Structure 1
Amino acid sequence: MTTGRPTGYSAISSYSRVEILHLVQDRDHRTVSELVSATRLHPNTVREHLQRLMEDGYVVSETEHRTTRGRPRVLYSATDGVTSCSPVQRRKARAAADRGDLMRRVIPGSAPELDTAALHQIDALVEDLVDAGFDPLVDEDELTVELTPCAHASSQASHRDVLCSVHLSIMQSVLSSAEGPLSVDGMRSSCDPRECIVQLLHAAQKP
């Protein structure tokens, strides 16, 4: 599960990148100039942040199709694992599933309640959360993911709403990229802003 870089050093360890990711999650096909206007960051800084987000599989780019003269723009969208897919995120999901299968063979336990596809989704989700600086605790019976204490609750407390929205969207994207029956159902409400428990939903439970 090692990634070769310090724990917590991820594409979303910087709030500037979180802000950019939030913008492209809100609307696809963003241009650099739009993101510069919204964030007031230097264009080169925005490009560097976008490159890092693409390297971690959270953003994809495409070249604008033009029917008139002019240089085509590069358009950026957030990955969702369905309509906007990142080969990086898919590759990471497959590698996480392989490591998860190996661990389950090496350390046998009780028969898992979840099907193989769902287990592979959990494998991908846990590895992505660990890379982001979390220490996730998964309850496979209740289908919950506890992220307490939140790795970003203190350092970025004033941006809690944006952070939670971005993290939930990333989690759904990872689950979709891993291809299985699980999806994010939402975050459990809590009086403690440092507490974070995400509820998952199995397709078999949907009405």
Structure 2
Amino acid sequence: MPRRVEHYRGLTQVSRLRLLRAVQRKPGRLLQELADEAQVHLNTARDHLRVLEEEGLIVSAPVETGRRGRPPLGYSPVRRADQTPQARRRADEAKQRGRMLRTVAPDLDPGADLGDDATHQLDALYEHLEDAGLEPEISEDRLTVGLMPCMYQEFIDEDRPLVCSVHAKLVRHQLEQVSGPVELRRLHPFVEKDRCLLVLGLAGQEPRVRRTGGVSADQDETALERHAVTAMRSHAD
């Protein structure tokens, strides 16, 4: 698909990624607890969370405390496109652009093999990863996604595994936002020095690709980050 100029500003700073990871790790928490975990100033955390919410990555909702006055906000990751107008717009636009592309280039249409719902999921996933600067290469036949995390190469080593765990959950959530059978099955961080691989699958079916190593998608972020560190070090000079 052609490149677009809409990018996730919220994913370009490590402090925002730390906050997003904190939201993903335990949804519904309040500002102060998230700021403490991410080790950022309260006002900075408030601004970062606003940016993440404006981009449709998280959603806030009042939390009843039983105290007088305005209730505080709890923050959670967006799991459904109807939770925020931004997520709904991105899903709809990805679907429209995918249809337009396949009208002009019918040979790119995997619909006969995957079905419309799965195809629309891949459209939305592609645009999410493209907007995040990860240069996705999706194989509809093999149901794999190659990623080139170019915009994160300048992060210090201890922060790059954080990028892996945050994006893994974003991929999972993105696939959940568009109704369909495609699921994230396995993650292979740093299969090459500057390349990662995602293995997808259709619900109720075995993955089309079997590759040794990597981390199952149902493992927690600690396991993924630990594996990412090991894989990253294996490519060190």
- Please indicate, yes or no, whether the TM-score normalized by the shorter chain is above 0.5: yes
Compared CA separation, residues 33 and 135, structure 1 to 2 (3 A): same
Written as runs of structure 1 = structure 2, the 5 A alignment for 1:42-53 is: 42-53=41-52
The C-alpha deviation readout for 1:144-164, integer Å capped at 9, x for no partner, is: 000035431443432222211
Compared CA separation, residues 189 and 59, structure 1 to 2 (3 A): closer
Q: What is the deviation of 1:39? A: 2.7
SS at match of 2:169: helix
User: Which letter does structure 1 place at the counterpart of 2:184?
Assistant: V
Compared CA separation, residues 183 and 16, structure 1 to 2 (3 A): same
Over aligned residue pairs, what C-alpha RMSD do you find? 2.4
5+ long unaligned stretches in structure 2: 208-237
Tell me the number of residue pairs that the alignment of Structure 1 and Structure 2 aligns. 204
- Residue 88 of structure 2 corresponds to 90
Q: For 2:132 and 2:9, how far apart are their aligned partners in 1?
A: 5
Written as runs of structure 1 = structure 2, the 5 A alignment for 1:162-181 is: 162-181=162-181
CA contact (8 A) 2:117 2:180 kept: yes
The TM-score, its normalising length taken from structure 1, stands at 0.88
Farther-moved stretch of structure 1 (127-136 vs 104-113): 104-113
* Structure with higher RCO (Cα < 8 A, 6+ apart): 1
The TM-score, its normalising length taken from structure 2, stands at 0.77
Q: For 2:13 and 2:190, how far apart are their aligned partners in 1?
A: 25
Q: For 2:5 and 2:29, how far apart are their aligned partners in 1?
A: 31
SS at match of 1:71: coil
Q: For 1:182 and 1:93, how far apart are their aligned partners in 2?
A: 15
The C-alpha deviation readout for 1:117-155, integer Å capped at 9, x for no partner, is: 111111111111111111110011110000035431443
- Residue 99 of structure 2 corresponds to 101
Written as runs of structure 1 = structure 2, the 5 A alignment for 1:45-64 is: 45-64=44-63
CA contact (8 A) 2:22 2:38 kept: no
5+ long unaligned stretches in structure 1: none
Q: For 1:58 and 1:121, how far apart are their aligned partners in 2?
A: 17
